[in-house]
Amino acid sequence: MMKWFKATGSPVAVANEELPVRREDGGAMNVVKRLSRSLSTVGRDAAEVRGALEDTQRVVQAQGEAMQALARQLNEIGQAQAAIAAATAESAGAVQRARGALGVVGGEVAGIASTLAQVSDAAAEITKISLQTRLVAFNAAVEAKHAGDAGRGFAVVAEAVKALASQVEASSKAIIGAVTSLQERIDRFSSELVEVPGKPSQIHAAFHEVEQDVQRISSSAAESGRQMGLLNERAHELEREVSEATHGLKVAFDGSDRFLRMSEELVEQIAESGIEVDDMPFIRAAQSAAAEISELLEGALRGGQISEADLFDEGYRPIDGTNPQQHTTRFCQLTDRLLPDVQEKMLAFSDKIVFCISADRNGYIATHNRKYCQPQRPGDTVWNTANSRYRRIFNDRTGLASARNTRPFLLQTYRRDMGGGRFVLLKEAAVPITVNGRHWGGLRLAFNF
């Protein structure tokens, strides 16, 4: 096994440290080196496959959520259709009741017409009587005139009776005229109420149109319900297919994860054997940087710059208005002051290095490399994802594994999310950072293939 040590010198000097004595001959070492490169290539391919599975998993998950939303919408539509069907049935019943009411009204109107006819007959009879009364009054007036002074009082009475008979006649004629006019109106109204085959009245025609409209609505609702039933069945089938695809993806995802980890562990074992594989310079550089950071943090504790409780603070406080979400802790100011010297120096070790950061044991990155510590731009999530990577918690598989690793080193291969659907394939060496024997987090050194 390769020794794990602290070093205060430069990463280059550590990379040139004398390795443990190798007992393998040159041929065997060359074979192992080629095997290490092949395993590294396999790990890269496995990481690509894992990333593709992650993309597919996200798509399938989105489809599953869409199917659930569709199912809810179909259920709401079904409830609305049931309400339409109920309302349509009630409307049809109301039309039938209205038609029945029309029949009752028609009977009442016929009764009114009959009564008015009786009134008209009575008025006509009164007119005849008034005519006869006028005739009697005229004869009485003639007789009174013949009687001279003796018939003068009788003549006055006869004239009064004649005037009264004239008034009664005028009134009865007015009654007959009003009854006739009312009778005509009632006859017209009655003709609208009576449904004659082949010659529907306007009101019955209107009711017939309403009945037809209600029937069309009912038929459309029934057909829509049938189509909704078929669509619902298909939606359930799609939901089952999505569920099966999700399960299949999980199996493939777990398999690719095991395969990726197996290739990483094989490379780690080869590196631990002392053979100078391609990743060894980066591993030693990461160990050197982790040792420096451990000493800096221990020195800060000894010098009273921070308390142990604050250094191991896990009270991540969200920063308002940030997307992706950023957080602060009580050790941010200390890491901003101490870590850049070590982390920035590591970027100059090789042009393959992408970043060098220190994560606490929960994957929280208080202080990133300066080029990734840009203030966020409001509303620009894609730019923020790529350029504002400090004050963030990376608790994904790779981030947590690196942060919680307590072995001398950990090698991982993964896709780094740069935002906007852009990913970069990286390899990472992670080394634990300890402070006075207590695990604080991990040094993460990421480099290109």
Please write the tens of the pLDDT for every residue from 29-54.
665 556 555 555 655 656 566 666 66
255 or 440, which is more confident? 440
Do 199 and 327 belong together in one domain? no
Contact call for residues 449 and 441 (beta carbons, < 8 A): no
In this predicted structure, the answer to whether residue 23 has a pLDDT above a threshold of 60 is: no
Do 216 and 67 belong together in one domain? yes
**Rounded distance between C-alpha atoms, residue 128 and residue 389, angstroms:** 114
* Nearest in space to 340 (alpha carbons), one of 306, 296, 393, 282: 296
pLDDT value for 107: 67
Tracing tokens 């099966």 back to the chain, one arrives at: 244
Count of C-beta atoms within a 10 Å radius of residue 263: 22
Do 118 and 251 belong together in one domain? yes
Cis peptide leading into residue 340 (ω within 30°):
no
- List of E strands, 223-340: 317-318, 327-328
Structure tokens at 115: 């009564």
In the listed set 239, 274, 309, which residue is the last one of a domain according to the structure? 274
In the listed set 248, 274, 300, which residue is the last one of a domain according to the structure? 274
pLDDT value for 311: 98
Q: For residue 330, give the CATH number of its domain.
A: 3.30.450.20
Asked if residue 117 is part of any domain, the answer here is yes
In this predicted structure, the answer to whether residue 131 has a pLDDT above a threshold of 50 is: yes
Asked if residue 14 is part of any domain, the answer here is no
Q: Where are the alpha helices (DSSP H) in 147-201?
A: 152-193
Going by pLDDT thresholds of 50, 70 and 90, the confidence category of residue 20 is: very low
Going by pLDDT thresholds of 50, 70 and 90, the confidence category of residue 6 is: very low
pLDDT value for 32: 59
* Nearest in space to 420 (alpha carbons), one of 382, 384, 386: 382
Q: Which residues of 140-163 are buried (b: 16+ CB within 10 A; e: fewer)?
A: bbeebeeeeeebeeebeebeebbe
Number of domains observed in the structure of the chain? 2
**pTM summary value:** 0.53
Top mean pLDDT of 137-151, 199-213, 411-425 is at 411-425
pLDDT value for 333: 97
**DSSP secondary structure, 392-416, as one string:** EE--SHHHHHHHH--SS-EEEEEEE
* Nearest in space to 316 (alpha carbons), one of 249, 384, 391, 244: 391
Give residue 248's domain range. Answer: 52-274
Asked if residue 44 is part of any domain, the answer here is no
Do 113 and 231 belong together in one domain? yes
Structure tokens at 376: 């966020």
- List of E strands, 284-352: 317-318, 327-328
Contact call for residues 358 and 405 (beta carbons, < 8 A): no
pLDDT value for 162: 67
Q: Is 444 exposed, middle or buried (0-12, 13-18, 19+ CB in 10 A)?
A: buried
Task: Give the model confidence (pLDDT) of 428-441 as tens digits.
Answer: 999 999 999 999 99
Do 415 and 294 belong together in one domain? yes
Asked if residue 202 is part of any domain, the answer here is yes
Q: To the nearest whole number, what is the mean pLDDT of the chain?
A: 76
Do 386 and 427 belong together in one domain? yes
In this predicted structure, the answer to whether residue 103 has a pLDDT above a threshold of 70 is: no
Structure tokens at 432: 């634990």
pLDDT value for 170: 77
Q: For residue 64, give the CATH number of its domain.
A: 1.10.287.950
Do 257 and 286 belong together in one domain? no
Do 251 and 316 belong together in one domain? no
Do 292 and 392 belong together in one domain? yes
In this predicted structure, the answer to whether residue 14 has a pLDDT above a threshold of 60 is: no
Asked if residue 423 is part of any domain, the answer here is yes
* Nearest in space to 235 (alpha carbons), one of 99, 103, 396, 63: 63
Do 341 and 252 belong together in one domain? no
**DSSP secondary structure, 69-122, as one string:** HHHHHHHHHHHHHHHHHHHHHHHHHHHHHHHHHHHHHHHHHHHHHHHHHHHHHH
Do 433 and 314 belong together in one domain? yes
Do 164 and 195 belong together in one domain? yes
In the listed set 230, 255, 274, which residue is the last one of a domain according to the structure? 274
